[in-house]
Amino acid sequence: MPTPPPTGPLVSRDTVATQLRALGVEPGEILLVHASLSSLGWVNGGAVAVVQGLLDALGPTGTLVVPTQSADLSDPAVWGNPPVPEEWWDRIRATMPAYDPLVTPARGVGVLPETVRTWPGALRSAHPQTSFAALGPRARDITEGHAPDCRLGERSPLSRLEQLGARVLLLGAGYDACTSFHLAEYRIPGPLVGVGRPGPGGWETVTEVSITSDRFDELGHDFERDRPVVRAKVGAADVRLFPVADAVAYAERWLPLHRPRAEEFPHPRA
């Protein structure tokens, strides 16, 4: 049977820029974007057109930021999508390439972050698992100094985004993708966990704050109920726009009440 034609809507670079400006994206601001490209409709030019539209809306003085996480640089013992045989684990640990911000691809965060990561002039932070990439005049301020033992905490780009008054744009993505909520996890009591990964000198384990997006969808629902969140459409995608600082502050209050985490987590083998 022939493939049915796309249902649309037809979305272009101009569509993205015009509708972002209409919902309140301002030239010169800093925008942390979590996006689902497929939610927009039929995009003429794909992720490239969306990045162009975002940059058009932000203008030459604005800065675009995306998460460029590389969760595959992790201990195979915790892989579940898909898992690998246990007899492979030692060999995988011994041969896994170390993180290189210029080479290591983003994984598990959609196609848009990888498009931004490889864009001319993009800068990327140094954390081997939870990096961010940025385009624009504040890119270096945001990406520099990402500590290797601080995935999404005070010494990560999230803290700088909060300080610089950045806003979050959920472009067809849900609150479960909202990395800003993780910054709150570093400011409330919680367990530590050993995080295994390849390092410059071989396999290493770093002690980190345990983070999880469990119940972030509920957190987002309550946040949107109680705090000002701009809601609109870009193409077919539901879009939400709000300050990073508001999301972090709300999560700091919500998480201890609704998702206390006192349990200890095992450390993966070094």
pLDDT single digits (tens) 138-155? 999 999 999 999 999 999
Average pLDDT, the chain: 94
- Cβ atoms of 205 and 11 within 8 Å: the answer is no
Say how far residue 154 (Cα) sits from the centre of its chain.
Answer: 16
- Distance (Å, whole) CA 254 – CA 180: 13
**Range 155-159 average pLDDT:** 98
Model confidence at 261: pLDDT above 90 = no
Element (H, E) at 93: helix 89-95
Percent of residues, the chain, with pLDDT higher than 70 = 96
